Structure 1
Amino acid sequence: MSLFNGSKRWLTTTLILLMLLLGSSLTLAVDRLVNDTGESNLSINQVRLRVNPVMLAIERNYHQLNTPEIQESVRSMAREQGLRLSFAGLDGKIMLSSNPSSEGQHIQLASALHYDLNHAAYAKDGEDLLDIAFPVIPAAEGKQIGNAIFTIPKAMVTVQPSSMLPLLAVGISLIIALILGTLLISMHRNLHKRLLSPVNMLQHHAESILKGQYDQHIQYQHADEIGELYAMFDLMRTEIKFLSEQRTQQEQAQKELITNISHDIKTPITTIKAYIEAIIEGICTDEKTLMEYMRIMQTHTDKTAQLVEDLLIHALQELGQISVEPREVYSGPVFEAMLESFGHAVKIKGLTYETPDSVPNVLVRMDTTRIEQVLSNLISNALKNTRPGDVIRVLTELDADQFIVKIADTGQGIQPQDMPFVFERYFRGQASPVYSRVQDGAGLGLSICKNIVEAHGGRISFSSKEGQGTIFQFSLPIC
């Protein structure tokens, strides 16, 4: 059950219990208010039961009320009921009374007649007796002939309030209070277990991540909102761990890059310096030797320039500022000139260099300098994986709206374990005993090629079989 649904049920239950508790409190308050006014503890029914025989006797014998026998009978009946009677006519004259001496007297009907118990109680406030009046209406006459005024003890008509309702209300209130207390304690424990404790644990994990400790798994047992938060937090931890490891690897690769480039630049510079010193010292005695020295120096200078160019492109690639400025050119003359410029470097290595007889002449958008750099890197990569007697072959073709260039060699090929990482920066393939030059370079060339080709809207790929050679190909969209 989710925390949201659980808290909703808790809130609903608590509100219901509070409403019941409020209802019980209101019941007690109303009961106390009614008891305090005294309006509900006077029972007119008790009075009617007592006076009914007397009233019947008066109504049946009202024509003979002046006879002593009837008068004594009515007085006797009133005494038996514990009542005192005064029967007054409509003019206020007392015609019959439990006290015979008051007969014949007149009373003030306006002040003496109280048909309501509460009015009677109010008129006799503080006294133990009440005067309650009933109209006398004989059935034969069908009209009122007088009023029977009964003086009765207040205790006779006072009904003691039942104590069950207050006790029941108090009992319900206590039960609700206990349930509320239990519910609140349970809620507190549940919130501490399902919310506060997990949040504290999450804070501990966050502190560990800030300290660089990414290996501790973040787990939560319940499938609720906190569980979802834990899952996202653990996913974030995994991502941060991956990024941290990637950054560490990248920093290590950059250190190795600097070391390798420093070594690779130092070697040709040292060689160039040695040949310059030899020329200055006059070791070259003829023009042929001098020209040989110059060619060696040029080779090492080209290598140094290539390393510096790769490093510059890498820096621009890191900053996302690699400059590619495509322009519309015809592919034929441009690629023929590029391929011809690489022929000398391939042939002096003792390799066979094959180029297409004719390059398809179509209009493409490309940055000539950058595409030449791609060809240079791919051919240089082929040179590293071949040995004298092998063949480097360049093919060009059209496929739908793409101009395709292929650079194939018959060298050692790429080892299967290296294939997934060929285009990654800093990657340098494993060297075999025969092809020790595979690891030459900084591992930036193919990554730079991929970036340049994709910046033109093209694609670059390769296929290779170990021991049989490799084919790299890239495509450029035709205008």
Structure 2
Amino acid sequence: MKLKKKYRLLLLSAIISVPLLLLAISVFMSIIYEVVFKTKNKGIPFHESFAYPTMLVVFCLSLLLLALLFSKSINALLNKINILNTTIRDLASDEKIPSTLEVTNNDEIGELIRSVNVLIERTTYRELEMKQQAEIQKELLNKLRHDINTPLTAIKLQLFYLEGQYTLSAPILDSLYQQIQYIADLTNEFNIQNTDTLESSYILNDEVNLNDLVETMLKKWSYLYSIHDIELIYQPVNKGLIWTSSELWIQRIFDNIFQNTLKHAKATKLEVSIENNVVILSDNGIGFDVNRKHEGLGLKIIEDITRILNINYTVQSNENGTIYRIQKPGK
């Protein structure tokens, strides 16, 4: 029920209930007085007896109870507004992104809560995407700096050796040392413009909890999937699955699968499960011919990453949907 209609009915009920309540209490009290107390009070009329002020007290108490009932509805609305206000302020701050709110009514406040939830999901997606890209860039940049500084250190040692073996002029050596230091300084200010190449990058392996990683990916993609009316289902049968691999590049595998399903599958559901040490992602889309060469880069990136990370990867697809299976050998 819409708020406008709801509070119109509330106002109408207040207008009707007050005179009806007064009439009902007066009739009820007068009947009780006539039946029980009038003969004992020597026939004193109702409006002159003790029953009349008693009726007024009961009527005031009833009005107070009625006001409390009506204010409860208003307080519920104010509480929802306060929750929305707090959530939006938390979302605008630099602290942790708030959780989505529960929608209990289909009125204007319910629609506003849905809009705030969409904003939260979109912000969560952007934050996770930016964090992932920043971590990838940081990893690659650190390895690139290391690779540049290592030969520069070797060159310095060779110059020191040549300085002791041969008679070299100090200006030449100073110039060479300055050029080496200049290159080292440049590496500290170097910004990677393209992090899409994996073959030339270094992979830092660590223990990766697949359940935590999948939950992060679902949280990241829930916004885009929700606005395209695609249902995300997660069934973590094996929550303790640990791989020794690169979390960043495994995320890239999932990112490309989620993106392929979103853009090309025309699916209404994507189900993710972890069972028997295998991560399975299946959709109910239109499928594709896995043997045909595709122009998109998504499947190629998945194949390249799984090959370099030594991860078993298979895909099955037909008109009923597509199933991706990802497994770490030996797990």
Instruction: Quickly name the TM-score band, shorter chain normalised.
Output: 0.3 to 0.5
From the CA coordinates, give the structure whose radius of gyration is larger. 1
TM-score (norm 2): 0.40
- Structure with the larger helix share: 2
TM-score (norm 1): 0.29
